[in-house]
Chain A
Amino acid sequence: MIRRLVVLLAAGAAIVAVVVSGRIVADEPAERATTVAEVIPAVQPLACPGPVEIPVGDIDSGDPDLGSGSGERTYDVEGEGADPVGVGFLSEGDVAASLERIGTGDVAGIAAAACVAPVRDQWLVGGSTALGASARLVLTNPSDASTEATVTLYGGLGEIEEHAVVSIAPGAQQDLLLEGIAAEVPALAVHVVATGAGIVAHLQDSRLDGFQAAGTDWVTRGAQPGTSLVVPGVGVSGEATATLRLLAPEGADVALTLAGEDGAAEWGGVSALELEPGVVTEVEVPAVASGAIEIEADAPVVAGALVTVPREVVDGPDDALAADLAWTPAQPADDGAARSVMIAEHVTALAVHASASGEVAFTDATGAVVASASMTAGSSRLIEVDLPAGTVVTGPAGAAWIAIATDEPGFIGTLVPRRTDVESTQVAVSQRGYVRDES
């Protein structure tokens, strides 16, 4: 009997242990400690890609109207301590730019490029590899260490499988013809990820419409994927057209607003868009004299705008039209940072979008106001300027703007200002044991 009782008592005790121990409160182990540190990268020189190249080469047919090249070619370099790298150059200054005017031939037009510092991750929205178009990616490594850039292309059908991985030696430049990676992509966006101190990427977008030059410009990098962007300088008049190109890496719903001189302008139909992940989407922008596009998205997007200015062809078929084009990348809507640009030849105006009401004043290196306008929040304005080449113009914080270069007979180019303060990046640092994963 006692034995029976002992067994039952033990069984009871075991069950009580199960029930009671359920009440023990568990302490959760803490997460691994992570330090988020601001890293101020070493200041790297700016780099510009150099002159544009004629996609088919400089073919001299004897007839200046039929040759691909041009005898009428000027290439201006503005910036301190220009130091050649490849066909381009480096500059130790805060800002630098190159502007090339080609009077005739396949690449006739103004091709302006603001020099930029290397970054590891950049998006270039622009370019095309459709028939007659050439997209030449110029990768410049201004740093002292070799770097490896991975180029990913996006088109109208989404991310393109073929990637390009390019190693660039210290102080070297490499060209990459994107039509060699993915041909027949009419609307491109290029994602360049580089190691180390990063890379400077410029994309030469050159187009030909039959025998007629259809425009050339440098696509420079725009804002990092963001949910609130502005693309200034999309105002067009006459036959000129403007197109907005958008890409959301992870997909997004975006709302577009066209900011005219007096605030938001009419934009029927497409102001709300749903972007598929990785799919490049193009939207026609209504013609307004001075316009900027405000982009609000629920997920990060990148954007750029293409302005095409057609012109009559001299000494050509009657209905033939030539054109020039200019790419303007998106800028962060209001990151509170002032930007500067190097004024080159032919710069005639500043296209400004103000995010706050008030006086918008542009100064030169000495601090003297060189241009100003009174603007209301969410409006855009084209401010005419006449400044000598080599002037460094600094805009106000809170305004998105570009410098527009124009020349006869309908050439157009844009220079995008850059932040001259050193941007710190955040690095999450944590300790973690190390054993190799694979054998």
Chain B
Amino acid sequence: MSPARLLVRAIVVSDGRSTHLPEVLAAVAAQSLRPDILHVVLGEGVERPEVPEGLAVDWVDAGRTYSRSVSRVLAAHPAHPHEYLWLLHDDTAALPEALGQLVATAKKRTAAAVVAPAHVRWDDASRLVNLGVTTTRVGARRVDLVEQDDINQGQYDERDDVLAASLAAALVRRDVWEAFGGLEQAYRGYGDSLHFCRRAWRAGHDVVIVPAAKVRHAQDGLMGVRSGSARGEDSTYGLRRTGEWVHSLAWSPVLVMPLLVLWSFLSAATRAVLRIAQNESRMVGADLAVPWRLLARVPQVPAMRLRIRRGSTRSAAAVAPFLVGTRAVVSHIRSRELHAYDRWRAQSAPSDMVRQELERAAVRRRAGLAIVTMLAVAASVALHGTWLTALSSGRMLAGEALGVTDTSVAALWERTWSGWSADGFGLPALDGAFSALLLPLAALPGGLRVWLGLLLALGVALAAVSAWFALGAATRSVWARGLGALAYALWPLHLQAVADGRVGAVIAHVMLPWFAMGVARAAGWHRGEAIGGGEEFPSTRTPSPSAAMGAAFSLAVVVVAAPVLLVPLVVVVIVAGAFAGRARWRVWSAAVPALIVSGPALVAAWSAGPFTRDAWAILARENGPALASTAVEPWRLVLGLTAHSQGAPGLPGIPGTVVVGAVGLGVVLAAAIAVASGRAPWAAASGLAIAGLGVVTAVAGQATVVVHDAGTGEAPANGFAGPGSTLIAAGLIGAAAAASSRLWIAVEGRGRAAVRTAASVSVVAMAGVLVASVVVEAWPGRAERGDVHAVSTAVLPLVAALEQDLGTRQRVLLLADTETGVDYSVLESDGTTTVTGRAQTDAAGAPVARPGTSPTTPAVLADTVAVLAGAGADATPVLADWGIGVIVAAPGSPMIASSLSQIPELSLIGASDVGTSYRVSRPDADEPVSRAWLEAPTGIVTADSDSWSGAVDAGRGDAGTLVIAAAADPSWTATADGAALDAVEDEQGRAAFAVPAGVREVTYGYEDTDYRWWWWASVVATAWALVGMVPLHDRRFQAVRR
């Protein structure tokens, strides 16, 4: 049945926001087969364009949407038999033969409700834009049947039946259009064609694509031209994505709908993470908004589903062959990505000549890295090889500043999550960043013991490798990179930090090069691989957003490890950003996570000053292990020296300053030559400026007391000059390395030999200095720089350590003889722990998080300890009041041990070579000593606690007092059967709450709202940077994807 004559009613709808309308009309006029009737629907007040001669136009006023505009036209003109609508947009211009071919197909395929043309690019008709669309079985992903911009070589000419095609410039049977009531409004213009076509199939019609009929499509709506957005395709992403989900809701079985809504949330979250990784931060919001937009459209879905059901004559299985499965989706995505990658490769592929040179450079580079790593590991082993064997035999590193390092994940987690520092009687913590920093190490197999031990033992090797990579941004000379990396790794203050167990300074030294590299690459300042003739490959370097995020993450780690570096490094980021041109926002964003992580400290410093010494002391605080050191002159810091430098064995004539400072001297000399040479002036100037900042930071740091005697047993300490000195080393080495770049081929003629000779001599001299430094430092019998040593992980007797882990969470009072008396320590865990991070107190002993308060600390136990030392009576009630359940006399302390054994209230529970333990009992009760308990007239009920929270089963339900053996703080909260309890004053300064009668379960915990906000903000910022630094779809990719 082939009707002799079809009626084609062309309808052009324009909102007046596309500039292509005149061309569209011209294209209609140029058709070999003109439409029978042409309606142009124009928005109100839109000027009518010029109409090509001989074209009869019926002008119509627009409705609110495209579909309504069409309906308005149809309402005004009764239907003819065999009437087809040619639905033109104001950005679709058909090629002259298009309508003829569509009509021809329509005549042949009478069952076709939709006969659609191929869409090609507006500016290049050989490039395909759309040639049919399908969707997945779930329906939540639109799958184009051609790749965007695919070259049309006739490879799709056989295609006819498709699930769907764009209705733009398609012939649609008028009766079908009217039966369907036009397009579904719930799609807001994106996805409605797919829905229409799918309905057509279900209603017993066909959808046919005519590859030979081509329509140029400017995609003004898709590209955001209509909404005036400059973001192109991205501007309509949210609408498109929502449309896809609406489609899936409309076509899925009814029971699956809630799951789909749920899935939309999960999918949005996943895509948001992916967006962060792709550094498309603006799209994160668009993705996260999708499920909410979907929820807003859900009310329209039942009506859509009803219409589908009523209009369907074919079963759902009829369209199933058109739908694609997972494998097809994956291959679709893959080919899209590969396509982009290939195009990038094609744009930037090196010539064969260059490729050979690059390969040679890569071999050199890899060999250099291997040798540097090997040498640095050898140096580490020479310096601290005994630590490695100790770690492998199950021991841990410990030291006066370092404390014990066998800290559990739980301890670190409780510290960072709660904001309650459990050391001593506990203090509110300023932040929990340091334990969060070490948490991943503790979570690895082997725990913190192994990984922190390796971090220290291999501190030199790790620093060398990071410096190697960072120096690659400054120079491509393998020699300069290698020597620079080793000099950085053997920086004397870094060795000191390792030997002292100053974990923070070590981490800062290891991470700083990554930050430097990140900033350099984020701004596009890194060097390309050197190829012949002084060229670099690639010749221009694009700034990398992933590198900026890498710098951001490294900076966050650095400022958590060594907060004193926050100010200088933020200054560096700000200045670098100012010079970074178009990458400035990317560079500046590198400071954001660090600032958020340091937020609590910045606020505290602001309210303590802001420009006073107290404020600086907060900024220069030390989070991890700290130790008092002698403040030294700035020039010593430039050489990386401490107050006392040991001379070399066998060379008594050479002062220690020269021996230990040789590496520093070499570096300063190299930097001086760099300045004098005038090469790489900007890099050299930046390096020197950074070194200058480092000097000021180091001196200001060491001049500030950062650990005060707050009564928790920590020795007061001034700041460590190491982090500032790290900045000096990085600046000087960076300056020298940048100036050394391409020195080998720098000078022409006779000068070249001189330069090359001088360079070779310098390289040999520096290498000699480095080797000599290692030999001197590792010389047998030379006094250790610090006190870090390997010990067994069992610090306390097992009976005591077990009590610390039970639900009663007893504290242990450790006593040790001294020359003049006795030392004591209140221990929360098995040995003094500093790696969980310091609570931070000011000079007056008040926690920085609670200025002006004076929480009770173990300092109040001094008299009690004296009584114990004198074997006096009545000491134990105070201990039980503070949850101290076990007293341990340290090994080698016979005086205190025999004093304790004379005290009748104490009972000996064991003696071993790690100490003698005595149990403390409650004075008038049989219940064991505990961290928290309910005190009622009828007796005591102990709580099941951890370091910051707990619960009591009140059982009998008597009224009483909940006593928490921890320093009182406004952030302690308690609830009884869900109702908040009132805090009561406790004479001894503990946290206590009045418990009413008749309650069953009492819980308590430490809830610091400000801390919690900062914690989450820090987690989000750091996670963002962490995900964003994944080099997924780097700038080079993005350059070609659009």
Contacts and interface: CB of A to CB of B under 8 A. Distances in A.
Interface of A: 3-4, 6-11, 13-14, 16-22, 24-33, 35-42, 120, 143-148, 195-197, 425-439
Nearest to B820: A428
A146 B902 CA distance: 9
B1017 interface: no
A57 to B, nearest CB: 34
B895 interface: yes
Given A27-B705, A32-B715, 5 more contacts: A25-B703, A29-B715, A37-B867, A38-B866, A439-B791
B689 A14 contact: yes
A435 to B, nearest CB: 4
B635 interface: yes
Given A4-B678, A146-B898, A428-B818, A433 B400 contact: yes
A325 to B, nearest CB: 35
A152 to B, nearest CB: 15
A435 B400 contact: yes
Interface in B847-895: 858-859, 862-863, 865-867, 869-873, 890-891, 894-895
Given A29-B718, A196-B871, A431 B686 contact: no
A429 B866 contact: yes
A427 B901 contact: no
Contact of B870 (A18, A20, A28, A427): A427
A236 to B, nearest CB: 41
Nearest to B710: A33
Nearest to A2: B681
Nearest to B632: A26
Contacts of A428: 818, 820-822
B832 interface: yes
Interface centre among B403, B795, B863, B904 (most CB of A within 10 A): B863
A31 B705 CA distance: 12
Interface string B705-733: 10111011111111000000000000100
A18 B638 contact: yes
B753 to A, nearest CB: 25
B704 interface: yes
A204 B684 CA distance: 85
B685 A7 contact: yes
A196 B762 CA distance: 66
B25 interface: no
Given A13-B692, A427-B866, A436 B823 contact: no
B55 interface: no
Contact of A35 (B634, B866, B891): B866
Nearest to A15: B692
7 A-B pairs with the lowest CB-CB distances in the bound complex, closest first: A196-B898, A39-B870, A37-B866, A433-B832, A428-B821, A431-B713, A3-B681
A144 B899 CA distance: 10
Nearest to B866: A37
B670 to A, nearest CB: 13
B869 A437 contact: no
B709 A434 contact: no
A82 to B, nearest CB: 22
B703 A196 contact: no
B930 interface: no
A312 B416 CA distance: 89
28 contacts: A3-B682, A7-B675, A7-B685, A13-B689, A13-B692, A14-B695, A17-B695, A21-B634, A21-B698, A22-B634, A27-B704, A29-B705, A29-B707, A29-B715, A29-B717, A29-B718, A41-B870, A41-B872, A42-B870, A144-B904, A196-B895, A428-B821, A429-B823, A432-B823, A433-B713, A435-B402, A437-B791, A439-B390
A435 B823 contact: no
Given A21-B699, A30-B708, A197-B899, A148 B894 contact: yes
A196 B789 CA distance: 32
B810 interface: no
B936 interface: no
Contacts of A18: 634-635, 638, 692, 695
Nearest to B629: A29
A22 B825 contact: no
A195 B686 CA distance: 65
A9 B685 contact: yes
B398 A26 contact: no
A163 to B, nearest CB: 14
Given A427-B870, A429-B824, A434-B890, A6 B791 contact: no
Contacts of B714: 433
B832 A434 contact: yes
Interface residues of B, number: 92
A26 B703 contact: yes
B684 A145 contact: no
Contacts of B703: 24-27
Interface string B667-693: 000001001001001101111110111
A144 B698 CA distance: 57
B398 A436 contact: yes
B898 A434 contact: no
B685 A17 contact: no
Contacts of A28: 705, 718
B825 A429 contact: no
A32 B873 CA distance: 27
A46 to B, nearest CB: 17
Nearest to B818: A428
Nearest to A32: B715
Given A14-B688, A439-B790, A433 B403 contact: yes
B117 interface: no
B491 to A, nearest CB: 17
B631 interface: yes
Contact of A195 (B698, B711, B895): B895
B870 A32 contact: no
A425 B872 CA distance: 12
A431 B678 contact: no
A431 B858 contact: yes
A17 B791 CA distance: 42
B823 A430 contact: yes
Nearest to A148: B894
Nearest to B424: A431
B925 to A, nearest CB: 25
A431 B859 contact: yes
Nearest to A38: B866
B897 interface: yes
Contacts of B691: 14, 17
A221 to B, nearest CB: 19
Contacts of B827: 434
Given A26-B703, A29-B717, A146-B898, A429 B822 contact: yes
Contacts of A19: 634
B700 interface: yes
Contact of B791 (A146, A197, A425, A435): A435
B718 A27 contact: yes
A21 B634 CA distance: 7
A436 B822 CA distance: 16
A35 B862 contact: yes
Contacts of B717: 29
Contacts of A21: 634, 695-696, 698-700
B681 A436 contact: no
Contacts of B398: 435-436
B716 A434 contact: no
Nearest to B393: A439
A20 B557 CA distance: 30
A432 B825 contact: yes
B631, B708, B789, B899 interface centre (most CB from chain A within 10 Å): B899
Contact of B831 (A8, A11, A426, A435): A435
B681 A42 contact: no
A16 B699 CA distance: 13
B395 interface: yes
A68 B802 CA distance: 62
A206 to B, nearest CB: 31
B814 interface: yes
B399 interface: yes
B684 A10 contact: yes
